[in-house]
Amino acid sequence: MHSAGRSWLLLTGFVLFYVIYLLFGALVFSSIERPVEDKLRHDMETLKQEFLNLSCVNPASLERFLVQVLAANKYGVSVLRNSSATSNWDLASSMFFANTLVTTVGYGHTTPLSDTGKAFSIVYALLGVPFTMLVLTACVQRLMYPLVLAPVGLLQRSGMEPRSATAVHFLLLLLMVVLCFLLAPAAIFSLLEVSWSFLDGVYFCFISLCTIGLGDFVPGTQPGQQYRPLYQVSVMVYLFVGLMMMFLLLHTFHKMADLHGLTTFLQLPHCEETDEDREPIVDNKLEEESSYPSDKAASKPLEPGSQPSYNTINKG
């Protein structure tokens, strides 16, 4: 079958392209970071040597001490003087942790230490992740009307043709999201956090909103942080709303790609409409569809088996 063969070809193409992309990223990261790492290692060696020269400590006991300190630090327990007051597991921090678990960001600055904690995290995550996903999709569906469909309708009524209207709207939405959820919070973070620069703030916002969550920057973990619970709760709220906006952006992009025929061309999944999304954009889409008869005919969702999708689970 032509369509099945084509889908296999596309899949292998994707996989190949993905592997090449990974290799490319590996090369670039390696060349950028490796010299810095070497220098840091050299610095540490000299530091250790200086310490040992000045004191009566022998290397072995220092090693042992350092290993223990590092093991404790991995779990967020610090040996430094002024960190004994704040705990990593008071209510606000635990809620922050639960939030990172459930949104799959997973910073890792604090991790469960006890076995029961680990077992509970497993169960909690397995239930919480789809739950959060449901909430986010529900919220995005609600937000679609006032933030996407209404403005696009407005643009269309003022005389623009549908495709350019959606493109213009998408660009505006992108600009707004970048401004409000990337640049502005980054500026705020760079003010509130002592050691963060503006770029660090942007980096943190981006890594968190993509749910990558490397964990090298986590707000609110400095020892002398004032109003820590309030700070952490507001970061949680920011994460949630930011995730919602990213979802919305993705959905809008998907619709726009549909309208421009990109998804059909690449045999990617269509953006399916729910009942409440029956707004002018869909009517125009149907109009547009008439201009791509051959492609659209093969990709109409009403014909099972013609599209690569999870529906094929049933057909066997």
Partner 1 sequence: MMWLIYICLAVAAPDLLDPKSAAHNSKPRLSFSAKPVVLNTPEDECDTRTTVMRWKTVSAIFFLVVLYLIIGATVFKALEQPHESSQKLAILVEKLDFLAMHSCVNSSELEDLVKQVVSAVRAGVNPSGNSSNQTSLWDLSSSFFFAGTVITTIGFGNISPHTEGGRIFCIIYALLGIPLFGFLLAGVGDQLGTIFGKGIARVEKMIVKWQVSQTKIRVISTLLFILFGCLIFVALPAVIFKHIEGWSTLESIYFVVITLTTIGFGDFVAGEKGGTEGLEYLDYYKPVVWFWILVGLAYFAAVLSMIGDWFRVISKKTKEEVGEFRAHAAEWTANVSAEFKETRRRLSVDIYDKFQRAASMKRKLSSELGVNASMNQEMTPGKRTLSANLCENRDSYPNLTLSLSPVSGALTRNGSLYLNGLSPDYADRREIAIIENLK
For the segment 21-60, give every residue that binds partner 1 (CB under 8 A). 21-23, 25-30, 32-34, 36-38, 40-41, 43-45, 47-48, 51, 54-57
Cα separation of 110 and 113, whole Å? Answer: 9
Least distance to partner 1, CB of residue 111, Å = 4
User: Which of 141-174 are b and which e, b meaning 16 or more Cβ less than 10 Å from the residue's Cβ?
Assistant: eeebeebbbeebbebbeeebebeebbeebbeebe
* Cβ proximity to partner 1, 47 vs 172, nearer residue: 47
* Cβ proximity to partner 1, 161 vs 295, nearer residue: 295
When asked if residue 147 is in the footprint of partner 1 (CB under 8 A), the reply is: no
Stretch that binds partner 1, among 76-84, 146-154, 163-171, 219-227 (CB under 8 A): 76-84
* Cβ proximity to partner 1, 98 vs 192, nearer residue: 98
Q: How many Cβ atoms are within 10 Å of 137's Cβ, its own excluded?
A: 14
256-275 residues in contact with partner 1 (CB under 8 A) are 268-275
First CA to last CA distance, the chain: 15
Least distance to partner 1, CB of residue 18, Å = 5
Least distance to partner 1, CB of residue 21, Å = 6
Retrieve residue 28's tokens.
């670039």
Give the binding-site size for partner 1 (rule: CB under 8 A): 144
98-127 residues in contact with partner 1 (CB under 8 A) are 98-108, 111-122, 124-127
Cα separation of 57 and 39, whole Å? Answer: 25
Per-residue binding letters, 170-209, with partner 1 (x by CB under 8 A): -----------------------------xx-xx--xx--
Retrieve residue 26's tokens.
């590996």
* Cβ proximity to partner 1, 160 vs 240, nearer residue: 240
Cα separation of 9 and 243, whole Å? Answer: 33
Contacts 24+ apart (CB under 8 A), 239-245: 239/99, 239/103, 239/105, 239/208, 239/209, 240/99, 240/103, 241/181, 242/181, 242/185, 242/205, 242/208, 242/209, 243/103, 243/136, 243/209, 243/211, 244/136, 244/139, 244/140, 244/143, 245/177, 245/180, 245/181
Q: Which of 10, 147, 167, 192 binds partner 1 (CB under 8 A)?
A: 10
